Structure 1
Amino acid sequence: MSIKNKLNRLKGHIKKETAKPVEIKTETKEIPFLDVWEQENVYPYWADKEYCLIREVKYPLSFKHGNYYFYEFCQAVDEWNQSPFIHPLSAKGHQSSNLFFFDTETTGLGGGAGNTIFILGYAQIIGEEVVLKQHILPYPAGEVPLFKSFLENVDYTTLVTYNGKAFDWPQVKTRHMFVKEHVPKLPEFGHFDLYHAARRMWKHRLERTKLSIVEEEVLGVVRKDDIPGFLAPMIYFDFVERKNPEGMLGILKHNEVDILSLITLYTHLSYQLLKKDKGMSAKEILEVGRWYSSLGENNAAKKTFENMDETNKEEVLQAKFILAAQEKKAKKLQSAIFLWQYIIDHYTVKTNIKMVVETYTELAKVTEHKNKNYLKALQMTNRAMALSKSHDLLEKQTIELLKRAERLQRKIKQLEMQE
């Protein structure tokens, strides 16, 4: 008998059962320690029978965090809107309320799917207040309400973070992938990452540019009874297991200070870039001018360097070197020559020798090609070569100078033979 016939004979013995609908329980989860959470202005948000927690704190614009009042941030945005200069941190075209100061807390510092975000925190100006919200993941299954509450109630144009381009937002995108069918899409936005600005501005004075160090050394922010960031994952795992919010409240405060410091940091950077900070050091003025120059904002660079005290000799020499490069590029050669000559006449043993070598080289080029004074060009080249050798500069640079010297010697001999 074929298999087909055997199956047909067995049909009559198969018991037919009507599929029963799956019973979905709709009971609400009990939220542990809800009374404690409510005392801290934390309330639940429900979605798909799961919940997250949301904490909200409000500050008046008259509140001072570190060296700045929050209303000074609004003034900085207004100043950017009046500024003619282009800069990556410019808020031109934005209102104060458009900037969205964002920070996360995660279970690890590495990227990838194994790293979970358990706090999505942000602050923005709403009316006459800074409104700070933190969306909290109370247990692993709460990611849908976490992201849904975050994305459906957020209205922003430009993200402001500290290393958020490399860490925070990529991590948001990774975790969003797991719940994207149930929550709104991630929006497009502009992004001010203040970490790179802090490195540029203060690497000369800070060994590391962690936000906590920048707070203490630059912004005047003093943390009291703060939980170190590296303890946050352990405290969170303990909270997930025991549900007691005591440790989590400390992490929320840590995250809150991080976010408020982003407002202060953006304000401070803006005041320096807009030349409103009267207490800038010569090195800070130099870095601001260098930054503008690298962006092609030559007028902004010049105006920045005008604020530099001439007693800061080394910074003044570096500023003139930057301006000389600008003038050369703008085909204002006489102005560039004047600046290079100033460096040659005023450099000291403390001066960056590589800069002096490049200055001699630039003058040698002009003297050779424009003035046709080969002997003087050779003298300048020899001085550059001597400095390069005595300070162990790049071998490539020394070799190029040697080639230049040999070429000039040949030209001088040719002239002597013609005479």
Structure 2
Amino acid sequence: MSLKNKLNRLKNHIISETSPVKPVIPVKQETKAELNPAGLKPVKYGEDFCLLREISYPLDYQHGLYKLKDCADAVKRWNESSLNHPLSAKGHRPEDLFFFDTETTGLGGGTGNMIFLLGHASFSENEVTVRQHLLPKPGHEVALYKDFLKYVDITTLVTYNGKSFDWPQVKTRHTLIRDFVPELPSFGHFDLYHASRRLWKHKEYALKLMNVESEMLNIKREDDVPGYLAPIIYQHYVQTQDEAVLEGILKHNELDVLTLITLYTHLSNSLLNIGSGQTADEIEQYEVARWYETAGEHQTALKEYESIAKKGFNKSFDAKYKVAHKHKKEKNWPEAVMAWEEIAANDSGKLKIDASIQLAMYYEHAEKNNELALKWTESAIAYAKELNRLAKLKNIDSILSEGNKRKNRLNGKLLSNYSPGKRRK
């Protein structure tokens, strides 16, 4: 039986045991030069060697929603922006970014897992070049890493889950041969998986790269070799040295690194378009604001919260609560109280409890109005119990414990004020 037929049988078996995957259709790849089926050429280092594949794309080549040159434009916009953000390319040129992905013999960590393909894409003045360094068989890793490290003169690595997987794997394999190869460079790292989770964790699909590119970037693939089949295909190649069987793996990896360029462009545009009203997804807009708040850009985040609060959609109360917190810090009590009262009256989630607690604290400590403070405390307790009955509420014990302490304290104050011989405060 041919390898293709074996893989088709295995693929059907694996897919039948997992949840269905939405089929994707490819963007047609057009390159400057026609390559042989694998496009690999040997690169020798003494008696050792690895295989190298190079393919170049013009900057006006479109991969999904964007042309490659749009990434260079995003870098330029970061340099023109005063915003501080972990994904900012300020101080960098497009040539400083190194879009990187690997293929390995397994998904586990440690020395037993071997990288057999190192793929990366880099900008030059007129094009993007994808280079792929392939391990011809075990025992040639010195040549593999010598060749790879010739091109790693970079400022920032761009990966998808590379902080947790790809780069630690590179460091592990490099450690085993460090006496024979150059040192690994130090650089910044944009991990687009973590960025995607921040903005799109509310989506109804797993944030695998193939889902993100299909659902968010309009990148479609046809006849793509699934990543889980790559180790099997590579083992077949090691046994037969038939480079033709590698064509699917090489194309899969090539598309992965091109997708990193498109994804970085898209994430940058989402972050740089803040305040423009161009974000279609209100939840994404809210998460962008939260990320800027975490990054210390409080005024930028506040403006976005105010914009979301006015829309009156899914995240309006969350945003309004954030705005109220800002008013509280500035002791702008009328605005804060108005926002809390609106949330307490209309929200149907935990924010109703939080707003009621804020009102109780305000009336107890700022207004010294124990009757109203008790009213809002009892409201928070009652709604916490109701919400917990409908759906288990996180930290319910803490909420009820603090609420009952406040309730007992307020009842004590009220009893004291109404004791015989004492005037009501």
Pairwise TM-score range, normalised by the shorter structure: 0.7 to 0.9
- Cα distance in 2 for partners of 1:277, 1:128 equals 33
Match of 1:258 in 2: 256
Distance 1:257 1:167, change over 3 A: same
Check the 8 A contact 1:37/1:245 in 2, yes or no: no
Match of 1:283 in 2: 283
Match of 1:384 in 2: 380
Match of 1:31 in 2: none
1:162 to 157, 160, 165: 160
Task: Give the C-alpha shift of residue 326 in structure 1.
Answer: 3.7
1:403 corresponds to 2:399: no
Q: What do residues 82-141 of structure 1 show as CA deviations (whole Å, max 9, x unaligned)? A: 222211111111111111111000000000001000011111111121111111101112
Task: Give the C-alpha shift of residue 331 in structure 1.
Answer: 5.3
Task: Give the C-alpha shift of residue 212 in structure 1.
Answer: 0.6
| Structure 1 stretch displaced more, 229-238 or 47-56 | 47-56
Q: Secondary structure at the match of 1:118?
A: strand
Distance 1:206 1:401, change over 3 A: same
- Cα distance in 1 for partners of 2:375, 2:220 equals 56
- Cα distance in 2 for partners of 1:113, 1:204 equals 36
Question: What TM-score, normalized by structure 2, do the two folds share?
Answer: 0.85
Match of 1:185 in 2: 183
Q: Secondary structure at the match of 2:316?
A: helix
- Cα distance in 2 for partners of 1:369, 1:247 equals 73
1:365 to 357, 361, 368: 361
Task: Give the C-alpha shift of residue 181 in structure 1.
Answer: 1.2
Distance 1:58 1:307, change over 3 A: farther
| Structure 1 stretch displaced more, 226-235 or 241-250 | 241-250
Task: Give the C-alpha shift of residue 406 in structure 1.
Answer: 1.1
- Cα distance in 2 for partners of 1:64, 1:95 equals 20
Q: What do residues 328-373 of structure 1 show as CA deviations (whole Å, max 9, x unaligned)? A: 34555554334323323442xxx3x212101110111111101101
Check the 8 A contact 1:272/1:280 in 2, yes or no: no
Task: Give the C-alpha shift of residue 63 in structure 1.
Answer: 1.0
- Cα distance in 2 for partners of 1:192, 1:314 equals 30
User: In terms of Rg, which structure is larger?
Assistant: 1
- Opposite residue 380 of structure 1, the aligned amino acid is W
- Opposite residue 318 of structure 1, the aligned amino acid is D
| Structure 1 stretch displaced more, 76-85 or 39-48 | 39-48
- Opposite residue 415 of structure 1, the aligned amino acid is N
Task: Give the C-alpha shift of residue 384 in structure 1.
Answer: 0.7
- Cα distance in 1 for partners of 2:91, 2:301 equals 22
Distance 1:221 1:272, change over 3 A: same
Aligned residues: 380
- Cα distance in 1 for partners of 2:330, 2:114 equals 51
- Cα distance in 2 for partners of 1:188, 1:53 equals 25
| Structure 1 stretch displaced more, 162-171 or 335-344 | 335-344
Listed as ranges, the gaps of 5+ residues in structure 1 are: 1-35
Percentage of matched positions with identical amino acids: 46
1:138 corresponds to 2:136: yes
Listed as ranges, the gaps of 5+ residues in structure 2 are: 1-33
Q: Secondary structure at the match of 2:233?
A: helix
Task: Give the C-alpha shift of residue 302 in structure 1.
Answer: 2.2
Q: What is the RMSD of the two structures over their aligned residues, measured on CA atoms?
A: 1.9
1:111 corresponds to 2:109: yes
- Opposite residue 212 of structure 2, the aligned amino acid is V
Distance 1:333 1:45, change over 3 A: farther
- Cα distance in 2 for partners of 1:277, 1:359 equals 28
- Opposite residue 171 of structure 2, the aligned amino acid is K
Distance 1:330 1:66, change over 3 A: farther
Q: What do residues 39-70 of structure 1 show as CA deviations (whole Å, max 9, x unaligned)? A: 65422111131110111111111111111111
Match of 1:304 in 2: 304
1:220 to 207, 218, 228: 218
**Map of 1:298-377 to 2, 5 A cutoff?**
298-308=298-308, 310-329=310-329, 332-347=332-347, 351=348, 353-377=349-373
- Opposite residue 399 of structure 2, the aligned amino acid is Q
Check the 8 A contact 2:309/2:319 in 1, yes or no: no
- Cα distance in 1 for partners of 2:63, 2:251 equals 14
Check the 8 A contact 2:99/2:159 in 1, yes or no: yes
Task: Give the C-alpha shift of residue 296 in structure 1.
Answer: 2.8
Q: Secondary structure at the match of 2:112?
A: coil
Check the 8 A contact 1:374/1:412 in 2, yes or no: yes
Check the 8 A contact 2:270/2:279 in 1, yes or no: no
- Cα distance in 1 for partners of 2:99, 2:70 equals 15
Distance 1:368 1:346, change over 3 A: same
Check the 8 A contact 1:67/1:219 in 2, yes or no: yes
Q: What do residues 207-264 of structure 1 show as CA deviations (whole Å, max 9, x unaligned)? A: 3111111111111110111000000000000000001112211101000111111111
Check the 8 A contact 2:41/2:51 in 1, yes or no: yes
Distance 1:327 1:59, change over 3 A: farther
